[in-house]
Amino acid sequence: PTSANARSGGAAVADVAPPPPIASEPLTQRHEFTDDVSVQVRLKPSGRSREVVNIDDASRMAVVRFTVQPGVRFPWHSHPGLVLVAVTKGELVFVYGDDCVQRHYAAGTAFVDPGFGNVHYAFNPTGGELVIVATFLGVPDAPAALTNPVSPTQAAALDAKCGAVAASVHSH
C-alpha cells in the first residue's frame, strides 16, 4: 500500500510497500527433456552418511529464483524430486528434520537437496537479502506443487525437536 501522508518540502512522499518475505520468480516453466534422462547423485552433507539419489525419470525440470528477506524462514517441507541449489547472494541455513543440524551455505556455494520425502526447512540468518536459484529435477506435471508442506502438527513437533523459531515463517 502507498500513502501520501508523509510530507517533505510541501510535496507528498509515497510510502513504498515492503518486498514480500519470500519472492519466487520462475526462470523457466516445467521443461521436458527431449531425450530419455535418468539421474544418479551421490551426496554426503557434513555430518551425514552418504546418500545415493536415483531418478529413473528426470524428464521434467524447472528453475526458480527465490529472494528471501532478512530473518525469514521457509517452513518445514520436502520436494517430489531432487533440487540443486545455488546461493547467489547472502547466506542460507538448511536444516534436515531428522538431525536438526544447521548447515550454512554462503554466496558462491551450492548444495543438493535430495528431495523425495527428506523434510527440512531453511532460513536467511543475515541482515541482508538472500538469493538462491533452485533447479528442480524430476518434477511432476503442472499444476502439481514443487514443494510438499508438512502438516501443522508435524511442523510444530519438528520446531520443538529442532528448537526452530516459528516467527517469520513463509510458505513458497
* Predicted local distance difference test score (pLDDT) of residue 6: 45
Q: How far apart are CA 30 and CA 26, in angstroms?
A: 9
**What pLDDT, on a 0 to 100 scale, did the predictor assign at position 121?**
97
CB distance 71 to 124 below 8 Å: yes
What does the pLDDT read at residue 168? Answer: 52
Residue 130 contacts residue 91 (beta carbons within 8 Å): yes
- Predicted local distance difference test score (pLDDT) of residue 142: 86
Residue that is written with C-alpha cell 528434520 in the block: 97
* CA–CA gap between residue 99 and residue 140 (Å, rounded): 28
Residue 3 has a pLDDT of: 42
pLDDT of res. 12: 58
3-state per-residue secondary structure call for the chain: CCCCCEEECCEEECCCCCCCCEEEEECCCCEECCCCCCEEEEECCCCCCCEEEEECCCCEEEEEEEEECCCCEEEEEECCCCEEEEEEECEEEEEECCCCCEEEEECCCEEEECCCCCCEEEECCCCCCEEEEEEEECCCCCCCCCCEECCHHHHHHHHHHHCCCCCCECCC
Tens-binned pLDDT, residue by residue, of the chain (172 aa): 444 444 445 555 667 888 999 999 999 999 999 999 999 999 999 999 999 999 998 889 999 999 999 999 999 999 999 999 999 999 999 999 999 999 999 999 999 999 999 999 999 999 999 999 999 999 998 889 999 999 999 999 999 999 987 545 455 5
**pTM recorded for the entire structure:** 0.85
Phi then psi dihedrals of residue 138, to 5 deg: 70, 35
